[in-house]
Chain A
């Protein structure tokens, strides 16, 4: 359950990173692995799925002193997707927050 939960949140986080600016894979992995305890290898399959579902496109760009890097760039479809995921996430976490606070306020009154 926890791992599946994480996978859903992972999709939102990775898409929102690409939404901010075009990223290459290593960059995304680096940021995500700071916040998530995931095998870094699970992020590349996710990126490929995004490309397959037309949420983003890729292009190669030369890097300073190294082979070209594959960059991921979000599409209109991907923007729509990430906006909806974030909206749902906010709604969900607000509900959770609300429920978590409920008993605490009750006890304070006594």
Chain B
């Protein structure tokens, strides 16, 4: 592979990397080829020693994916980091993927539950305040009494607050799971550090 071919393949594999970073990365390899040639090496020798441009590019892409997931811990970004890592040969990330999908499912369930509880609280509150509102909801017979309706107001507020609390807990848990996943991917890249830090 000559220099031109190497640079072309490297550039093509760096798709998705910001333009500024791309220019910076490509510069390093241009410089490497230039100095190598100054020292009497052929372009083929230099590119052979460097390795496959696709493999080099995926290291940059993993770093970028991790950085992105750290800055914006969204499900899609975390998933992207896992997949790029798997593509680089960190196959133990397959287990991470499984566990992560499981946790993600639990989190989605929790999210739905907390929203459900919150909405239920609102409905009880509305029904207790204005009995003729929401005609498709049947009011319990105790709402015929003033004390019963008062109890309904408080129950509504209580349940709604519980829903909100559950929602906050879910959001906190989600953040923990995302951070944990990213931290795990990072320690995977530097296994020796983890082994000696324990």
Asked if B32 contacts A42 (CB within 8 A), the reply is no
Interface membership of A91, Cβ < 8 A: yes
Within the complex, which residue of B29, B52, B53, B191 is in contact with A8, where a contact is CB–CB below 8 Å? Answer: B191
Assess A26 versus B196: contact at CB under 8 Å? Given A7-B190, A40-B51.
no
A94 to B193 CA separation, bound complex (whole angstroms): 16
A29 to B38 CA separation, bound complex (whole angstroms): 15
Assess A39 versus B50: contact at CB under 8 Å? Given A26-B36, A70-B27, A92-B195.
yes
Interface size for chain B: under 10, 10 to 19, 20 to 34, or 35 or more residues?
A: 20 to 34
A26 to B27 CA separation, bound complex (whole angstroms): 12
CB distance from B63 to the nearest CB of A (A): 6
Chain A residues with CB below 8 A from B25, complex form: 44, 48
Chain B residues with CB below 8 A from A92, complex form: 192, 195-196
Within the complex, which residue of B50, B60, B195 is in contact with A40, where a contact is CB–CB below 8 Å? Answer: B50
Q: How many A-B residue pairs have CB under 8 A?
A: 89
Chain A residues with CB below 8 A from B67, complex form: 52
Interface membership of A69, Cβ < 8 A: yes
Asked if B49 contacts A33 (CB within 8 A), the reply is yes
Interface membership of B189, Cβ < 8 A: yes
A7 to B90 CA separation, bound complex (whole angstroms): 12
Within the complex, which residue of A9, A48, A66 is in contact with B60, where a contact is CB–CB below 8 Å? Answer: A48
Assess A88 versus B60: contact at CB under 8 Å? Given A7-B190, A8-B190.
no
Asked if A42 contacts B28 (CB within 8 A), the reply is no
Interface membership of B3, Cβ < 8 A: no
Q: Which of B34, B60, B89, B190 has the most CB of A within 10 A?
A: B190
Interface membership of A22, Cβ < 8 A: no
A50 to B198 CA separation, bound complex (whole angstroms): 23
B residues 181-197 near A (Cβ < 8 Å) are 188-193, 195-197
Q: Contact flags (1/0) for A1-14 with B, using CB distance below 8 Å?
A: 10111011101000
Asked if A88 contacts B31 (CB within 8 A), the reply is no
Given contacts A8-B192, A88-B197, 10 further A-B contacts (CB under 8 A): A8-B193, A24-B31, A33-B49, A41-B29, A48-B25, A66-B34, A70-B27, A70-B28, A89-B192, A89-B196
